[in-house]
Amino acid sequence: MPRSLEDVVHFYLPEVEGPSSAQRRAKVSAHTIVGVPIGDSDVVRAAFVWNLAVEISRAGASATVLAPAAGDTASLWPDPGRGPMGSELVLTFADGMGDLAHAAVDLAQTRAAESPAGPGLVLVRLPPAWLPKAADAGALLARVLLFTSPDTRDLVETYALVKRVVSVAPGSTIGITVHGVRSVGEARGAFSRLAAASERHLFRALVSYGLIVDDLHVYRSILNRHAVGLAHPQAAASRSIGEVAQLLLGDLAEEADRG
């Protein structure tokens, strides 16, 4: 659903005490595929995806990351298999968007069969170079999550990704998480600039999936190959990544209720 950062800002205001994690825990009726464009050497955004999978699992849902096996996967991801809280990394030898879409659908169906009563998500790493040939990969682009910093160049690159996704999947729901911010206001400004450009030029509303604060614990967790929410549960980044997980799960639960 269209949503601005104004709608989720209460999660990040320290003076406002939100509902408990148990109260916010979302129920998703199916294993949903979420495509996440990540470059071949983008270790930071890969770390966000893995940490998000851990937080989704901690919230009571199944979370699997699916990524192509080509390239330097060791720099982007932990070892394949089960990880903290039941999160999982699966590598596939798919070499294009069509094959990757088939692998994602098969994986989602397999995980749903293993736990038919439980919620679940499959977060799929999409190599940006594959996006222009994504006409046969609708399953990967029905819902897309993009990470952007407030840096102008990064916003321009993210807008280009939005434009590319819209061109091959006009009905896609595109969510944005702003990272590397020092305040809610900084995140609000970055999201507003991106959302305004998308609405003006692409006639597409974007969905806000909150923010991830600028926190050294994130970069230390990358070096140590630990989930930041488990290694440093009180860190600001841990809380903000957890809230992104809750926002994503909450939207999927609302869609399931409407369906």
Answer whether residue 27 shows pLDDT above 50.
no
Please state, for a pLDDT cut of 90, what percent of the chain lies above it: 68
DSSP string, 54-89: HHHHHTTSEEEEEEESSS-HHHHS--SEE-GGG-EE
For residue 118, count other CB atoms closer than 10 A to its CB: 15
Domain count across the chain: 1
pLDDT, one tens digit per residue, over 4-14 is 666 665 555 44
Domain that holds residue 198: 5-258
Ramachandran angles phi, psi of 138, nearest 5°: -55, -35
Nearest residue to 59 via CA among 12, 6, 106, 21: 21
Answer whether residue 2 shows pLDDT above 80.
no
Residue 173: the pLDDT is 95
Helix axes 236-258, 216-224, angle to 10 degrees: 90
pLDDT, one tens digit per residue, over 145-185 is 999 999 999 999 999 999 999 999 999 999 999 999 999 99
Who has greater pLDDT, 252 or 53?
Answer: 53
Strands 120-126 and 31-37: parallel
DSSP string, 169-228: -TT-EEEEEEEEESSHHHHHHHHHHHHHHIIIII----EEEEEEE--HHHHHHHHHT--H
Answer whether residue 138 shows pLDDT above 70.
yes
Instruction: Enumerate the β-bridge partners of residue 211.
Output: 178
Residue 122: the pLDDT is 96
Q: Best-predicted range by mean pLDDT among 99-113, 147-161, 232-246? A: 147-161
Residue 103: the pLDDT is 95
Minimum mean pLDDT range among 72-76, 226-230, 254-258: 254-258
- Sheet hosting strand 88-92, strand order edge to edge: 81-82, 88-92, 62-68, 120-126, 31-37, 143-148, 173-181, 207-213
Structure-block tokens of residue 236: 């600001």
Mean per-residue pLDDT, 186-208: 97
Strands 173-181 and 88-92: unpaired
Answer whether residue 229 shows pLDDT above 70.
yes
* pLDDT band, very low/low/confident/very high, at 133 (cuts 50, 70, 90): confident
Structure-block tokens of residue 51: 């940490």
Q: Is 32 exposed, middle or buried (0-12, 13-18, 19+ CB in 10 A)?
A: buried
Does the pTM of the predicted model rise above 0.85? Answer: yes
Minimum mean pLDDT range among 2-16, 33-47, 97-111: 2-16
Q: Best-predicted range by mean pLDDT among 74-78, 127-131, 194-198? A: 194-198
Give the span between the Cα atoms of 23 and 42, in whole angstroms: 34
Nearest residue to 206 via CA among 152, 155, 153: 155
Answer whether residue 74 shows pLDDT above 50.
yes
Domain with residue 87: its CATH number is: 3.40.50.300
Ramachandran angles phi, psi of 148, nearest 5°: -140, 150
User: Mean pLDDT over all residues of the chain?
Assistant: 87
Answer whether residue 219 shows pLDDT above 90.
no
